[in-house]
Amino acid sequence: MAIIVDTNTRLVVQGLTGSEGSFHGVRNRNYGTQVVAGVTPGKGGQDVEGIPVFNTVAEAVAEAGANTTMVFVPARFAADAIYEAVDAGIGTVICIAEGLPAHEMLRIYNYIRPKGVTMLGPNCPGALSPGKANVGIIPAEIFRAGPVGLVSRSGTLTYQIGHELTQLGLGNSTIVGIGGDPVVGSSFIDVLAKFEEDAETELVVMVGEIGGEEEEKAAAFIEAEMSKPVLAYIAGFTAPPGKTMGHAGAIISGSAGTAEAKKEALEANGVRVGTTPTQVAQLVAERASVTS
């Protein structure tokens, strides 16, 4: 089955005619994803290496059957692009663009949730279901198919842990990057719930970082709702309080949002937390050997 993206994904790339949009859109297509359209207002009728370009998402839905969008437009246009996609009937939005103001994302979040739209990002690497579909900027060649679900706030840590798993002979059902901004379309809980229902996922790795309280909320959800084992890694044990470290959402204040506090919350709810990406992969390998 996998989650969020699979063989049924029919992707439209908003911003396909731009340099980044075309590079990753074609790369996703070459991986095997059904990239059925691009959208750039005013450039309808053109194509990018055989991928037709439309003026609107509504045209891409009506004429190419698009059901998922990858938003690769500048931040100042990204919010409008998301609204356009949702209003056109797109059910899955993956926003790679970064720099969206938090207050704008709050409006988007409250607009899409009642409609049942699944959104990843902004400021995220996307989602990959190995062997099925890649939507985003994830380097698919370092992953392999398998039973491990992976959800992360960090892109590069996702790649590292996924590669460590591959080297140990393990693979992933789906790799999901939710994004590192303070307000994102999907939380850890949203994705964990999808993995819990996915027949191809046997255990889950959650990669968190300092800032906010999403990991603490996820810990309570895991204890109450998850039957599948969850392992975790938290980045930022040496981060000084009050300092932003990388992502806009990765900031701690006093004792709130620290890596240690998140680790304690997770372990109190039965989630083992690795201290390095390599250790996390080793814990997964140990758990997989026990459950196999």
Give me the active site residues, please. Answer: 247
CA 238 to chain centre: 25
What are the CA-CA distances from residue 268 to residues 184, 191, 263, 265, 273 (Å)? 26, 21, 8, 5, 11
What are the CA-CA distances from residue 270 to residues 19, 20, 226, 264 (Å)? 45, 41, 11, 10
Q: Token pair for residue 59?
A: 């045209």
User: Reading across the β-sheet that carries 172-177, which strands appear in turn?
Assistant: 133-136, 126-129, 172-177, 145-152, 203-209, 230-235, 272-274
* CA–CA distance, 222 with 128 (Å, rounded to integer): 23
Sign (positive/negative) of CA torsion 209, 210, 212, 217?
Answer: positive
Phi-psi region of 136 (alpha: psi -120 to 50; beta: other; left: phi over 0): left
Q: Give the three-class secondary structure for 185.
A: coil
Rounded to 10 degrees, what is the CA torsion of 100, 239, 261, 147? 70
